[in-house]
Amino acid sequence: MDNLVIVVDMRVEAVRGDITTQRLDAIVNAANSGLMGGGGVDGAIHAAAGPALLAECREVRRTAYPGGLPVGYAVATGAGNLPARWVIHTVGPNWHRGERDEADLAACFASSLAEAARVGARSVAFPAVSAGVYGWAGATVARVAIAAVRGFEPSDAVDLVRFVLFSDRLYDEFAVALRA
Ligand code: AR6
């Protein structure tokens, strides 16, 4: 009998919505290297998760990253009161500070998936990291993010990646890039 090979592809999708309400295994936070919260999606995630998330972030800073989480890195914590089980914090490059290397942005998505695989999260929601306060163009973030996710190895470590976009415009930019 022939051997059977089953290829389970990672599903990649985009939705318009609020990432804090997503019932996936993990949601990704567009944090800053201090990991103590901030505005944008970071503020929304900390507000919805409650103080347990900040306490875990403090512990991460104290133990693993006393100098702060570098750009392009990712680290998982619990998710406090959120419906997700983990929050994966990543730090995008800041366009306004001259951090304009697409490899750094791609690294955010790849390292977040690696962190998901490490903890055992099989479904992951991403915001448009760096497309807000950090000033990257939405279409660039969409193109880089989707390429990074599709190129992630091992490709069978995560079943579902969902980009959760907070505006119609960003949703449209991700929808275009997904079809490309
Ligand atoms: N769900 C999904 N997306 C959201 C939500 C939400 N609830 N809220 C905002 N967004 P930003 P950055 C979108 O600025 O550019 C923070 O202060 C938002 O519309 O949150 O990586 C951190 O502490 C935008 O499209 O992240 C850092 O200091 C996207 O999330 C800094 O901002 C990312 O925008 C990081 O800047």
The answer to whether 13 touches 161, Cβ cutoff 8 Å, is yes
pLDDT band at 8 (very low <50, low <70, confident <90, very high): low
Ligand 1 site, residue 160, Cβ cutoff 6 A:
no
Question: In this predicted model, what pLDDT tens digit does every residue of 12-57 receive, in sequence order?
Answer: 999 999 999 999 999 999 999 999 999 999 999 999 999 999 999 9
Q: What is the pLDDT of residue 174?
A: 98
Distance CA 85, CA 7 (A): 27
Closest ligand 1 atom number to CA of residue 164 = 2
Closest ligand 1 atom number to CA of residue 92 = 21
Helix (H) or strand (E) holding 91, with range, is strand 86-91
Q: What is the pLDDT of residue 81?
A: 98
Give catalytic status of residue 18 as yes or no.
no
C-alpha 41 – ligand 1 centre gap (Å): 4
Closest ligand 1 atom number to CA of residue 136 = 15
Query: Domain 4-179: which topology?
Result: Leucine Aminopeptidase, subunit E; domain 1 (3.40.220)
**pLDDT of 4 over the 90 cut:** no
pLDDT band at 3 (very low <50, low <70, confident <90, very high): confident
Q: What is the pLDDT of residue 128?
A: 99
Q: What is the pLDDT of residue 166?
A: 98
Question: In this predicted model, what pLDDT tens digit does every residue of 67-123 receive, in sequence order?
Answer: 999 999 999 999 999 999 999 999 999 999 999 999 999 999 999 999 999 999 999
From the list 2, 9, 18, 42, the catalytic residue is: 42
**pLDDT of 2 over the 90 cut:** no
**DSSP string of 5-44, one letter each residue:** ----PPEEEEEES-GGG--SSEEEEEE-TT-S--SHHHHH
pLDDT band at 1 (very low <50, low <70, confident <90, very high): low
Ligand 1 site, residue 19, Cβ cutoff 6 A:
yes
> DSSP 3-state assignment of 118?
helix
Question: For the chain, what are the domain ranges?
Answer: 4-179
